[in-house]
Structure 1
């Protein structure tokens, strides 16, 4: 077998050559740490910071992130913060033993993101219901439009944040984007009603 590049190899079989795709191992950064139980505020803040980066916890005090320069830099900073908390930590680079183990870890990342997408979709439903209620009541005011526009911007920012942490393309990401598009279209239609209502009153 002749390795052509990082992704493919040329295999000779019965005087024929077959191109096969090589599995590219996913490298992860694994942070293991132990911090004092008190003050709890610092311990919880550390957990929130790591979850906010998109880390998955394999068990208490052991978390993973895909390896890249940004994650390496931020985890080194967190490692120093743990030291300042009188805690202990080790930061390692690791890979899965085989494809099955890698799929398990990737699956954990996807589950976490899908849970966030589900929560986001629920908020989109709330947004739709609110705009629909105002439309049925023919409550077409600029004040209501501004309030709904602010809520839509929060949804847009929230989805962008989730997608940045969706390292492996969780299943509900497409649905979440579709729901946001629907919210935007619904608000556009409501805005048109507001503009028309105010034009009629002039």
Structure 2
């Protein structure tokens, strides 16, 4: 297995106020970093991640905290594999939630079709939800550094909800046109 270069950030913040701790935690999660020890987070080393961790480090220090930002490599492949497994577990959890929401979305479209709710307002609402799901997928995908197992299923679900939305959109158009012809 190829050795991967990692960025590691370790930080301490005062317990009060809690807002800076929560903000740092959210930024690290959004970046796709994983927590491997109490306040030690790891992420693959690239320019984008380095810049983001530098900003987080500055934020911690601006809030009376301390940080250590390190460039690292695992000496033993089993440790690297364990961390990659943690990354994939996190992404699979995110993909799993997305897949569940996509399935709910498909059921929602099926319901609207079955009750023949073919209004433009409903179409706009469904399109907005579709865009949220696609945006969510893109965010998860940007953090999927190691091809988590549920990534392909999520990609397929996104394609399926897009096709279902297009089908619903066609039905709304057809039914709206019929109403105008009467």
TM-score normalized by structure 1? Answer: 0.87
CA distance in 2, matches of 1:138, 1:77: 51
Give the alignment partner of residue 186 of structure 1, picking from 159, 164, 170: 164
Match of 2:113 among 135, 142, 145: 135
Gaps of 5+ in 1: 1-22
Residue number in structure 1 paired with 2:174: 196
Residue of structure 1 in register with 2:69 after alignment:
91
Asked if 1 retains the 8 angstrom alpha-carbon contact of 2:20 and 2:60, the reply is: no
Q: Does 1:102 align with 2:104?
A: no
Shift of 1:97: 1.6
User: Does the alignment pair 1:161 with 2:139?
Assistant: yes
1:76 corresponding residue in structure 2? 54
Across the aligned residues of Structure 1 and Structure 2, the Cα RMSD in angstroms comes to 0.9
What's the TM-score once normalised by structure 2's chain length?
0.96
1:3-82, aligned counterparts within 5 Å? 23-82=1-60
Query: How much does 1:72 deviate?
Result: 1.1
Which has more strand, going by share of residues? 1
Deviation at 1:24, TM superposition (A): 2.7
Aligned residue pair count: 180
Instruction: Point out 4+ residue stretches in structure 1 off by more than 6 angstroms.
Output: none
| 2:103 counterpart residue number | 125
- Specify which of 106, 123, 129 is matched with residue 145 of structure 1: 123
Distance 1:83 1:186 in 2: 49
Q: 2:94 aligns with which of 113, 116, 136?
A: 116
Greater helix share, 1 or 2?
2
Instruction: Quote the Cα distance in structure 1 between the aligned partners of 2:57 and 2:176.
Output: 58
Q: Deviations over 1:13-45 (max 9, x none)?
A: xxxxxxxxxx43101011111110010111111
